[in-house]
Amino acid sequence: MIDHRPDPDALLEKVQRAEAQRRRGRLKIFFGASAGVGKTFGMLLAARERRAEGLDVVAGYVETHKRVETHQLLEGLEILPPRLVEYRNTQLQEFDLDAALKRHPALILVDELAHTNAPGSRHPKRWQDVEELLDAGIDVYTAINVQHIESLNDVVSQITGIPVWETVPDAVLEKADEIELIDLPPDELLQRLKEGKVYLPQQAERAAQNFFRKGNLIALRELALRRTADRVDAQMRDYREDNAIKDVWQVKERILACIGPGGSSENLVRATYRLAQLLRAEWIVVYVETTKLQHLSREQRDAILRTLKLAEELGAETVTLGGHQLADEVIAYARTRNASRIVLGKPTYVGWRRWLHGSLVDTIVRQADDIDIHVVGKESNFLAQAKATPYFSRSRLYLGLGSDEQRPLLKWQPDYLWAITASAISTAIAWLMFEHVDLANLIMVYLLGVVVVAARYGRGPSVLASVLSVLLFDVFFVPPRFSIAVSDTQYLITFAIMLLVALVISGMTANTRHQAKIAGLRERRITSLYALSRELAATRGEVNVLNIAVKHVADVFEAQAVILLTDANGHIVYPRDEGAPQSAHGSDLSVAQWVFDHGQMAGQGTDTLPGGDMVYLPLTAPSGVKGVLALLSLNPNRLALPEQQRLLETFTSQIALALERVRLAAEAHNTQLKMETEQLRNALLSAISHDLRTPLAAIVGASSSLVRDGERLPVQARYELSQAIYDEATRMSGLANNLLDMARLQSGGVVLNRQWQPLEEVVGGALAGMSARLLGHPVSVRLPHDLPLVEIDSMLIERVFANLLENAVKYTPSGTAINISAESSLGEVIVTVADHGQGIPLGEEKRIFEKFHRVANEGNQGGAGLGLTICRSIVEAHCGKIWADNTSEGGAAFHFALPLGEAPPEIEQEEIAGS
């Protein structure tokens, strides 16, 4: 059974598109075949209707050309004042994008979508302004003529013979929510023209007269109608897909267009675009850079770059491939991408040359029998054809890595000198061999010399070596010797073949060398990428990621780079952290902010603010834009190369991913910290609420009874109540001390006040402080006489003793002894506080040091379980360690070790004791 349900993926995409559109403003385009059909008029009429419906309508920019009817329609509409721009001593009126965004009406009218903005505007083109308005959620009405549509641009130029420079990408039209065709039959238009109702700029009048010929107008009208019909057709298909009317089996087509250095490439791209539109197919434009094509002149390279850029603007994916055989590469790539059609230009060679060189079309047709091949013919082109340039001025490296300047002639001379030297050496060797071997073998010596020169110095010197070899061979060895004349004419054939072989060998060797060089460059590129990702993967911390990223970008792209991140409010700011890269301080924060907000490139060589020196790239990770990479390239042309662009894109996404990773890690860390803090707080709260409430209850109870019945109570009872209050308050005070210590130690704000101390004194201080608590427990202190001074914070170590003693008192029955002892060994002093109680339950030896941990079945012994944790914190702050075990008699023993560190300071010996 055939499944008639809609394709879920397609449906999802549709929902997402609808979602994006809901947030975006709606775009309505008034579309006409030529000037004068009444687009502006129609647009204003529609706008007035909207306003009558109560919508907030503003005329952002409307060109009335001082026509009365149009002007009348504008009356009553709010008009946004134009932005005035000084340009070459004239004042230009431009649409004020910022004012429009600030005013933020529901609907704005922006006429002449194809308009080119004055230099210095945010975007070079008005349609980009409109995009930004739509992004901001403002509905836009605009108008455009058919000749301004990018993909129809060449067709219109052919029809009218007038080139049109201002174009709008087809994507803008396709994304429009509504297109209203303003149609006027040619006769009526011509009538209006005669009546002077059509505005014509004075200087272009003649050209315009040429333009408004009936034939032209009919053709343009047809184009406009067809374009609109295409759109209706597309809408129809959308509708059918939505409603699962699927009686046509549809396979998503993929078209691959192959461009070369020829001037017709742009036509090829436009033709492929139209085909792709028709078939609703994805399309890829491929440029195969073979060995031969690596020697193209700068102009030709620029032309290819332009073509690739055009293709990208028209919505194609562009790819540059490297390889030997054009046809093989194209077919292999077509198969990997599952392309169903290949579009090629007409073969350049005809006749015998085609037979000799072979044609790409023939080869592909022969090899790819399962792929449809379209061959597009040449068309006349208004753009300047790329001119062939003399060989020596050709740039040797196309890939962009390495030197891009042309090599000066001077630098070549040593290479040619080497070619001459090599030929001389060949001659010398041949001279030595001349007596013993055949002439034919001497040729081999020369050929060897040519191979060596070709391998080391490239094509030019090897050609020179080839020619020289033949000459020298003739002069020195072919009879009559020492003259250029030849006795036997058969030698002429020898010379010809020798020269041919030498040239072929030199060509092939030079090619191999060049290939190796290219491969080396590619490898360097891959290596740089690998180095970046490897270093990024091993990095923690945002600043480190930034430093690594900037270092690599600067190295690989020969640019000053800086990564700009946002502050807490989402504003892009200069890096402030110590150690953050400081270069490229000239970056423009407002441009960076725009890039960050829109997630698009801006700056030099892009569509947005192309005026500046720097390029700004968004660092886009899956969860959004993470920051902006600003680049000041020392070689801007190189950045424009598609290969470099792609590498840069890979770099930025790698950096963005790394940034996202470190941020997520930091976030996870924070969350974990928060959770731990939360747990700790809960434990603390429960511990405190228990340990504070119990003594408080006793205090409140006892004191209230004293307050109420003080007079009537017997003296003994009053004394007991007062004693109870005193005891409980003391307990609370102890708890408060512990909490205070804990808070101080845990906040990390404790600076040890380390001084050289005799341990004895610290123990003494603790014992004195605890004397009341220790009444029921005899304490023995055994400290060796030669115990060295230790460098400790006596206040804190006293707390350790106090807590350990408190613990011993708490957990052992009254009357049992407590032993304090110490010994020094191997650079540390180990102190032991042992009791004679029940000992520590098995397995609890470590956990008792944890916060709020209390030994099970401990009953209502006071204390929040903080004492030992405090001990551990203090000992660890002294770089020591603390542990517990049970003594052989069964009691608990707590040990802590304090490192001795450096030797205690000497003290001056006193003179002989006074007697």
For another protein, the closer CB: 537 or 775: 775
Q: Is 703 in the site for another protein (CB under 8 A)?
A: no
Determine the interface stretch with another protein among 33-41, 221-229, 788-796, 834-842 (rule: CB under 8 A).
788-796
Comparing CA positions, the residue from 779, 753, 782 lying closest to residue 767 is 779
Query: Which of 9, 53, 786, 910: binder of another protein (CB under 8 A)?
Result: 910
| 256: enclosing H helix or E strand | strand 254-259
Determine the interface stretch with another protein among 8-16, 304-312, 563-571, 790-798 (rule: CB under 8 A).
790-798
For another protein, the closer CB: 537 or 768: 768
Place of tokens 């979508």: 113
For another protein, the closer CB: 344 or 820: 820
Residue 755 Cβ vs another protein, minimum distance, rounded to whole Å = 5
For another protein, the closer CB: 82 or 765: 765
Residue 900 Cβ vs another protein, minimum distance, rounded to whole Å = 14
For another protein, the closer CB: 541 or 776: 776
Comparing CA positions, the residue from 878, 882, 852 lying closest to residue 867 is 852
Residue 760 Cβ vs another protein, minimum distance, rounded to whole Å = 5
* 338 φ, ψ (degrees, to nearest 5): 60, 40
DSSP letter assigned to residue 318: E
DSSP letter assigned to residue 29: E
Determine the interface stretch with another protein among 293-301, 655-663, 665-673, 792-800 (rule: CB under 8 A).
792-800
For another protein, the closer CB: 562 or 804: 804
Strands in 254-259's sheet, in edge-to-edge order, are 317-322, 282-289, 254-259, 341-345, 372-376
Tokens of 872: 């551990």
Q: Is 768 in the site for another protein (CB under 8 A)?
A: yes
For another protein, the closer CB: 650 or 821: 821
Determine the interface stretch with another protein among 242-250, 583-591, 608-616, 902-910 (rule: CB under 8 A).
902-910
Decide: 866 and 742 in contact? Cβ < 8 Å.
yes
Residue 913 Cβ vs another protein, minimum distance, rounded to whole Å = 4
Q: Is 913 in the site for another protein (CB under 8 A)?
A: yes
Comparing CA positions, the residue from 108, 81, 109 lying closest to residue 94 is 81
What residues are paired with 107 via a beta bridge?
57, 139
- Extended strands (E) in 195-235: none
Residue 575 Cβ vs another protein, minimum distance, rounded to whole Å = 39
Q: What angle do CA 152, 155, 160 make, to 5 degrees?
A: 120
Distance in angstroms (rounded) separating the CA atoms of residues 468 and 102: 76
Distance in angstroms (rounded) separating the CA atoms of residues 255 and 271: 11
For another protein, the closer CB: 465 or 779: 779
For another protein, the closer CB: 661 or 718: 718
Distance in angstroms (rounded) separating the CA atoms of residues 108 and 60: 6
For another protein, the closer CB: 437 or 775: 775
Residue 878 Cβ vs another protein, minimum distance, rounded to whole Å = 15
Residue 757 Cβ vs another protein, minimum distance, rounded to whole Å = 6
Residue 766 Cβ vs another protein, minimum distance, rounded to whole Å = 8
* 669 φ, ψ (degrees, to nearest 5): -60, -45
For another protein, the closer CB: 105 or 734: 734
Polymer length in residues for the chain: 915
End-to-end CA distance of the chain: 121
For another protein, the closer CB: 358 or 765: 765
Query: Which of 728, 798, 828, 835: binder of another protein (CB under 8 A)?
Result: 798
Determine the interface stretch with another protein among 113-121, 277-285, 447-455, 767-775 (rule: CB under 8 A).
767-775
Q: CA–CA distance from 129 to each of 150, 604, 609 (Å)?
A: 17, 18, 12
Determine the interface stretch with another protein among 460-468, 489-497, 611-619, 907-915 (rule: CB under 8 A).
907-915
Query: Which of 190, 781, 817, 855: binder of another protein (CB under 8 A)?
Result: 781
Residue 914 Cβ vs another protein, minimum distance, rounded to whole Å = 4
Q: CA–CA distance from 501 to each of 291, 420, 425, 470 (Å)?
A: 20, 18, 19, 11
DSSP letter assigned to residue 146: G
Place of tokens 């315009």: 208
Q: How many residues interact with another protein (rule CB under 8 A)?
A: 37
Distance in angstroms (rounded) separating the CA atoms of residues 76 and 416: 80
Q: CA–CA distance from 855 to each of 605, 786, 868, 884 (Å)?
A: 71, 37, 12, 13
Q: Is 492 in the site for another protein (CB under 8 A)?
A: no
Q: Is 823 in the site for another protein (CB under 8 A)?
A: no
CA dihedral 325, 331, 334, 339 (to 10 degrees): 150
Residues 726-745 interacting with another protein (rule: CB under 8 A): 726, 729-730, 733, 737, 740
Q: Is 915 in the site for another protein (CB under 8 A)?
A: yes
Q: CA–CA distance from 612 to each of 496, 559, 601, 838 (Å)?
A: 58, 15, 13, 80
Residue 572 Cβ vs another protein, minimum distance, rounded to whole Å = 43
For another protein, the closer CB: 444 or 783: 783
> Mask 747-766, x = binds another protein (CB under 8 A)?
------x-xxxx-xxxxxxx
Q: Residue 135, exposed/middle/buried by CB under 10 A (0-12, 13-18, 19+)?
A: middle
Determine the interface stretch with another protein among 140-148, 167-175, 396-404, 787-795 (rule: CB under 8 A).
787-795
Q: Is 704 in the site for another protein (CB under 8 A)?
A: no
Determine the interface stretch with another protein among 93-101, 325-333, 618-626, 778-786 (rule: CB under 8 A).
778-786
For another protein, the closer CB: 648 or 766: 766
For another protein, the closer CB: 330 or 792: 792
Distance in angstroms (rounded) separating the CA atoms of residues 833 and 820: 5
Place of tokens 């402030």: 576
Name the percent of the chain in helix, strand, coil, to the closest 5.
50, 15, 35
Tokens of 638: 């190189």
What residues are paired with 27 via a beta bridge?
140
Residue 586 Cβ vs another protein, minimum distance, rounded to whole Å = 50
Q: Which long-range contacts (CB under 8 A, 24 or more apart) does 700-704 make?
A: 702/728
For another protein, the closer CB: 123 or 799: 799
Q: Is 139 in the site for another protein (CB under 8 A)?
A: no
Q: Is 623 in the site for another protein (CB under 8 A)?
A: no
Position 684, amino acid: L
Comparing CA positions, the residue from 734, 664, 629 lying closest to residue 692 is 734
Residue 863 Cβ vs another protein, minimum distance, rounded to whole Å = 18
Q: Is 795 in the site for another protein (CB under 8 A)?
A: yes
Continuous H helices in 750-830: 759-769, 794-811
Residue 901 Cβ vs another protein, minimum distance, rounded to whole Å = 14
For another protein, the closer CB: 413 or 722: 722
What residues are paired with 348 via a beta bridge?
none
Q: Is 769 in the site for another protein (CB under 8 A)?
A: yes
Distance in angstroms (rounded) separating the CA atoms of residues 446 and 495: 12
Residue 762 Cβ vs another protein, minimum distance, rounded to whole Å = 7
Residue 743 Cβ vs another protein, minimum distance, rounded to whole Å = 10
Decide: 316 and 285 in contact? Cβ < 8 Å.
yes
Could you tell me how far CA 551 lies from the centroid of its own chain? Answer: 15
Which residues of this protein are in contact with another protein, per CB under 8 A? 726, 729-730, 733, 737, 740, 753, 755-758, 760-769, 779, 781, 783, 789, 794-795, 798, 820, 904-905, 907, 910-911, 913-915
